[in-house]
Amino acid sequence: MTEITPNQENYLKTIYLEVEEKGYAKMSDVAALLSVRKSSVNAALNILADKKLINYTPYAKITLTEIGLKKAREIIKRFETMNNFFLHILKLSREEAIANSCKIEHVMSEALFDRISEFYEFTEEFCKQNPDYKKQLDSLLVK
């Protein structure tokens, strides 16, 4: 069980999303996305490589290992779970929802993840069955 810091999780996630979107990940793009210097990214990537989460050889494209992939997907799952809740139930703005999810995804427990997921599903369903509940919720939170 490779331990990983919140920050390292964030690098991993960013690389994963870059690879998803463009087919590869470049250091300088990661630096731009996270608003840090290339040298900082370099240091971080060396740590992730040490932990066998990414393949990172000098001057080559960055790819994720199997474990890295798995871990990245977990992080993104946590992100999406919180984000859905914030966006569609609490009705936070896109930016607010994302900002909070990006922080919380790194500190939440498995149990919280499970409960939020269940609660989200339940609430969506309940809204469908009970338009009155939905209406009350909407009028409460949006103004």
Partner DNA sequence: ATCCAGTGTTAGCTCAGCCTAACATGATAT
Partner DNA sequence: ATATCATGTTAGGCTGAGCTAACACTGGAT
Q: Which one-letter DSSP state was computed for residue 88? A: I
Would you say how long the chain is, in residues? 143
Q: Which helix (H) or strand (E) holds 28?
A: helix 27-34
Of 85, 68, 96, 87, which Cα lies nearest the Cα of 9? 68
Q: Which of 68, 59, 24 is nearest to 38 (CA)?
A: 59
- Which of the listed partners (its own copies, DNA, none) does 26 bind, with a CB threshold of 5 to 8 Å by partner kind? DNA
Candidate residues 77, 94, 103, 135; the one interacting with its own copies per rule CB under 8 A: 103
Nearer to DNA, 18 or 137 (CB): 18
Is residue 21 classed exposed, middle or buried when 0-12, 13-18 and 19+ CB atoms within 10 A define those classes? exposed
Contact 45, 27 (CB under 8 A): yes
Measure the CA–CA gap between 110 and 116, rounded to whole angstroms: 10
Piece of 12-20, 57-65, 72-80, 86-94 that binds DNA (CB under 7 A)? 57-65
Pick out residues in 21-50 that bind DNA (CB under 7 A).
Answer: 26-29, 34-40, 42-45, 47
103 lies in the binding site for DNA (CB under 7 A):
no
Q: Which is nearer to its own copies, 50 or 124 (CB)?
A: 124
CB nearer to DNA: pick between 54 and 97:
54
**Residue among 86 and 105 whose Cβ is closer to DNA:** 105
Q: Which residues bind DNA (CB under 7 A)?
A: 5-8, 26-29, 34-40, 42-45, 47, 57-59
